[in-house]
Amino acid sequence: MKVIVKNSCMVQPAQPTWTGTMPLTDFDQTGLLTHIPTFYFYKPSQNWLTQKDTIFTILKTSLSQILVYFYPLAGRLRWLDGARLELDCNGKGIQLVEAQCEANLDDLGDFTPSPKFDSLIPQINYCSPLYEMPLLFVQLTQFKCGGVTLGIAISHAVADGKSAFHFINEWANVARGQPLETEPFLDWKLLRAGETNILSKPCFHHAQFDPPPLLIGELSNENERKKQTTMVTLKLSKIQVEMLKKEANKISHIGHGYSRYEAVVGHMWRSACKARRHIPDQPTRIAVFVDVRPRMQPPLPPKFFGNAIIDVTVTSLSGDVINKPLGYTSSRIREAIDSVTSEYVNSIIDFLKNLKDFSSLQDIHVLKSTGQGPYCGNPNLLAISWIGLPMYGLDFGWGKEIFMAPGTNAVEGESMIMPGHDGDGSVVVVLRLQAACVEDFKKFFYEDI
């Protein structure tokens, strides 16, 4: 799919904004320096023909206006001693690209996440100096049929999924001439950002920073990294989701039962262990992510902008994951999520602040372009949840998208669980697996429901 760039510009805030350096939270320091892409697809609209301004002009003007409120996105990152980062709020702006594609939207099929989508966001050079790299890239691509795609890539170093979608939705409001619903809360000191005094040592063991299990008999994950991988997108209907929840809750001892996320992820973990043909004694780990905003005491503002998620891990033997009831894996996941209390979060902060050099966390700062980012693959998994996030219905004035898709997952074992686009109670799982395991995974994923 050939995409030709017609126009590219740097968009700066429409009004002067606060300038200066902002210390990132310690959670911001522990992620890859990559941008998280999302894609929105729009069919031709009669409204476009009656617009006084072009779509590109509308996007450019509204971006300039919304950056007045979300001004950290117009800044730049820079390194500090100890492989730490800080944000320079300097208003340099974000990159906006206008492109053209000779294909039709229908040529994209069912919009399954694919590497062909990579041309629908600006090409990001991770080898360029960090201080020159925008934190937000946007690309408008016009197709031959008259439809368009909007590719948005936001730096994960300054925004988690909840913050990213807050920004995107407020941007759409501004583009339609509407006022902001809620301004972002930008005081990162609530998560002790910039604090230098270490008040205490960690009071918990934080297993997410331990090396993940390896395949039995292997001394590293190098052999697994080299294997061919592919993306898998699987949809579970509302009925299938309810069946999984019912199965998981057969042994539940909690009043409100396991959530669809806990049931689906437990089922995915079981299917992966089977598809990878693990022996029963194979250790396996799954990492899940928890939003700490409502768990802190006092709770953080709901629109706290930044990274306020942490990962927690569950380790088991593949034989237990496969042979025990689904309620076993769901209960282990629930226990990990419930362990995230305000005390636990502060313990993680203490742990990270006690690190003199963040490079000791191995490859957390390695860029995607090297292909050597954190490996969460065989025998392990990573499960990101976008359930509950306002990811659909993005209207810039020419109607809502016909489809929305995330970018392709970077490494084997990384998965994303999302609600179905139609709001019908279905769930979509996007997962990268070794190609040799894909067909077996699909088979177990559906047959074991």
Rounded CA gap, 381 and 372, in Å?
Answer: 17
- The DSSP secondary-structure symbol of 237 reads -
pTM metric for this prediction: 0.94
Other CB atoms within 10 Å distance of the CB of residue 368: 15
Rounded CA gap, 157 and 83, in Å?
Answer: 13
Which of 275, 269, 376, 245 is closest to 321 using CA atoms?
A: 269
- pLDDT tens digits for range 272-302: 999 999 999 999 999 999 999 999 999 999 9
DSSP H or E segment with residue 101: strand 94-101
CA distance to 32, 265, 350, 353, 360, per residue, from 356 (Å): 19, 35, 12, 8, 9
Tokens, residue 240? 């299938």
Tokens, residue 198? 């270490």
Question: Within 13 A of 17's CA, how many CA atoms are on the CB side?
Answer: 24
**For position 370, what pLDDT does the model report?**
43
Tokens, residue 90? 């300097």
DSSP H or E segment with residue 383: strand 381-385
Q: Which residue has the tokens 């590109």?
A: 56
**For position 57, what pLDDT does the model report?**
94
Q: Which residue has the tokens 């003199």?
A: 356
**Domain ranges for the chain:** 3-191, 213-447
* Under 8 Å between Cβ of 154 and 167: yes
Rounded CA gap, 242 and 223, in Å?
Answer: 38
Class of domain 213-447 (CATH, top level): alpha beta
* Under 8 Å between Cβ of 275 and 437: yes
**Cα angle, residue 369 at apex, residues 366 and 375 outer, rounded to 5°:** 50
DSSP H or E segment with residue 326: helix 326-338
Where do the DSSP E strands lie in 259-374?
A: 283-291, 309-317
CATH fold group of domain 3-191? Chloramphenicol Acetyltransferase (3.30.559)
Tokens, residue 2? 């050939």
**For position 247, what pLDDT does the model report?**
94
Helix (H, G, I), strand (E, B) or coil at 210: coil
Tokens, residue 113? 């996440």
DSSP 141-195: EEETTS-EEEEEEEETTT--HHHHHHHHHHHHHHHTTPPPSSPPB--GGGGTTT-
- Do 3-191 and 213-447 agree at the fold level? yes
Rounded CA gap, 247 and 92, in Å?
Answer: 53
Dihedral sign computed on CA atoms, order 219, 225, 229, 232:
positive
All residue ranges of the chain with pLDDT < 70 are: 31-32, 46-53, 197-200, 252-256, 359-374
Helix (H, G, I), strand (E, B) or coil at 440: helix
Which of 397, 394, 430 is closest to 413 using CA atoms?
A: 430
Burial class (CB in 10 A: 0-12, 13-18, 19+), 354: exposed
Q: Which active-site residues does the annotation give?
A: 156, 395
